[in-house]
Each structure stands twice: as structure tokens, then as C-alpha cells.
Amino acid sequence: MPAFRIEPFAGRALLDIGSFGRAGSGRRDRLSPEQIAQIARTVNRTPEVMVKVLTRNSSGLSSVAQHFDYIGRDGELEIETDDGEQVSGKRIGRALINDWNLELEQHRRTNELTAGKGRKPAKLVHKLMFSMPAGTPPSAVLKATRTLLREEFGLKHRYAFVLHTDEPHPHVHAVVKAVSEQGERLHIRKATLRRWRAEFARHLREHGVAANATERAVRGQVVEAKVDPIYRTTKDPERESTHVRAMVQDVAAAMVNRSTGHSGSTGTLRSTRRAVRDGWHAIARLLDQQGQLPLASAVRQFVQSMPPPLTERERIEAQLRAHLRERVRDRERTR
């Protein structure tokens, strides 16, 4: 289900925020208390949760073992399992592989691949990360993640998780067996991630942490590529900068040739932003009708403060031009 939905309502567009708390039975003339609470969190820029799927190296036994060893910091950290045990050790990855019968699962998968040539190897595990901004109590992040994993996978999929606090933002790494004990394979779709984000935020709030879960587009944000660090090797083995590096080089060449090189995604961003703005304005009108005047005013200010909707290429070009201007200023200072 989309993070926001534009629907006809009395000739206007209604922005349906989030994946929960919608008015029932087709009622679109009032906002529910849950909706109002999420609107307030969003316009007040309550910290947003992050739930990420690490997609690389999830299909081989050795790479799965290496990931377990990595999140356990080679035995320094205790990994909590789905049965509540705390395990650690230098070869904890191999031990968990044996406990989860992943070798048997790989054998089954090999037989399936032999029967259907050309198919991509299925994942043995899903690697997830649950994160909050710096300053969030790590214990709350751990408790919220533990509850979410138990409710989502308890008595179904084997899983293990561990809290990391070696970076400013506390985060939990979780590994979930792709095939459940009942033989059902877990498929993670966009709607799945949206639901997990909403539940993660809800559990954090239950532990007294201000947390929200909305999509970037609803907040008027676009993913921003960073120019400066793309030529450095990233410390995270799950990420690559090859795509961004190639795009920066392409944009730079286009600038030299006096060509913008912008893609058709510009029009899509503009139309999406118009739909989002229309939806927010419709919500402001509903808030007016319900006597929520301060919140309605905050919504309008929130929409007014949205940055221009730029594509990734446009953002890179703007950063490159700013970098060039700074270099010119530096040369002038040294003369």
C-alpha cells in the first residue's frame, strides 16, 4: 500500500498519510485522532525511523557466516536469538548456520536450481537493519526491534539480532531465515518495509521515544547524493558508490558540453510534488473544519518550507557548481 494516497474528496485531493489510522467505512470528511497525531509528528519533524534491507551476499553459506561474525564483532558482542538466548564466539556464524539447518536449505535450493536452469539463487537469509538518529537511547532501539521481530517472526522464521552503538546512530542488525519452519518463503516488498517502519516507530513511542514513519515524498524530500565521499572506499561492505561515481562523471561531462542531461524523472518529481502539496492543503482544510487551527497553520508552513524537487542529477550538478565556486574563491584568496 502506498505511503500516501491521492483520492477524490468533495472535488479535492485528500492526502492519506501513513499506512494506518485511516478513517473507516469510507469516511473522508474527518481525520481520526491517529491521523492527527501522525500529521503533528510529521510537520513537527519528529525523528524518522529507518528500516533497511542489506541485499548483498545473502545466498551463500560462507557469506552468511561472515555476516554473523561481522555483526557479532568476531565474538565481542552477544547476539540474541529468537529463543531468547545470548550467543557469542569466534565462529558464531557457523554455529548459527548449523542451528538453523541452512546447509539443508542450500541443498534443497540447489535441487530446485537444477530443475529450473537459469533461475537466480534464492536467499538463505534476509539481512535487516533498524536504526534511529543520534541521541536516541540505544536500549529503546533494542527493545523496539526485539518486539517487532517477535511479533513478525516468532514461531515462524528463525532470527537473530544484535545492537551496535559504535556509531552515533544506534542501530540493530537482524538476520532472518528466508524460509520459515513451516516451509514458507519470506518475500520483502515495499509494502512490507512500510509496515515494518510503522511498527518500529510505534514500538519506539511505547518506550517513550519520539519516532515517526513517513515516506520521503510525503515530507517533500528527495534522496540526495553526496559528491565529496564518492571517490573514497566506503567502510560499509553492503554499499557501493559505483553508480553515484558514474553519474557524477556523466553530469560533469554534460556541464562541460553545456548540456543539462536531465532525464524524464524531473517531470515525475514535479507531478509527485504537486500531488503531495495538494494533499497536504486538503488536510489543512480538514483540520480547519475540525477546529485544529494551530496544526492547520503548521501544515501550511510545512508545505511552504519544502525544498524544490530536484532529481539526483540536478542535485549532483548543484553540488558540483557549488564546489567549483568554492575552488574559485580559494584561488582568489591565495593570490
Q: What is the pLDDT of residues 35-62, one digit of tens each?
A: 999 999 999 999 999 999 998 888 899 9
Distance between alpha carbon 140 and the CA centroid of its chain, in Å? 19
pLDDT digits (tens, 9 = 90+) for 225-262: 444 444 343 345 455 556 666 766 676 677 666 555 55
pTM for the structure as a whole? 0.77
Torsions phi, psi for 87 (to 5 deg): -120, 150
Write the CA distances from 181 to 17, 48, 68, 185, integer angstroms.
35, 33, 20, 10
Strands (E), 216-297: none
Helix axes 138-153, 190-206, angle to 10 degrees: 130
pLDDT over 80 at 222, yes or no: no
> In angstroms, rounded to a whole number, what is the distance separating the alpha carbons of residues 4 and 198?
13
Please name every residue paired with 50 in a beta bridge, in sequence order, or none if there are none: 131
Number of H-type helices and E-type strands within the chain? 10, 8
Maximum alpha-carbon separation in the chain: 73
Residue 148 near residue 65, CB atoms below 8 Å: no
Rounded Cα distance, 117 and 147, in Å? 40
CA–CA gap between residue 62 and residue 85 (Å, rounded): 23
Q: Cell numbers of 112, please?
A: 530446485
Alpha-carbon distance of 165 to 172, in angstroms, equals 9
Q: What domains appear along the chain, each with residue ranges and CATH number?
A: 1-46+214-335 (no CATH), 50-206 (3.30.930.30)
| pLDDT tens column, 73-86 | 999 999 999 999 99
Task: Please check whether residue 89 is in contact with residue 75, taking contact to mean a CB–CB distance below 8 angstroms.
Answer: yes
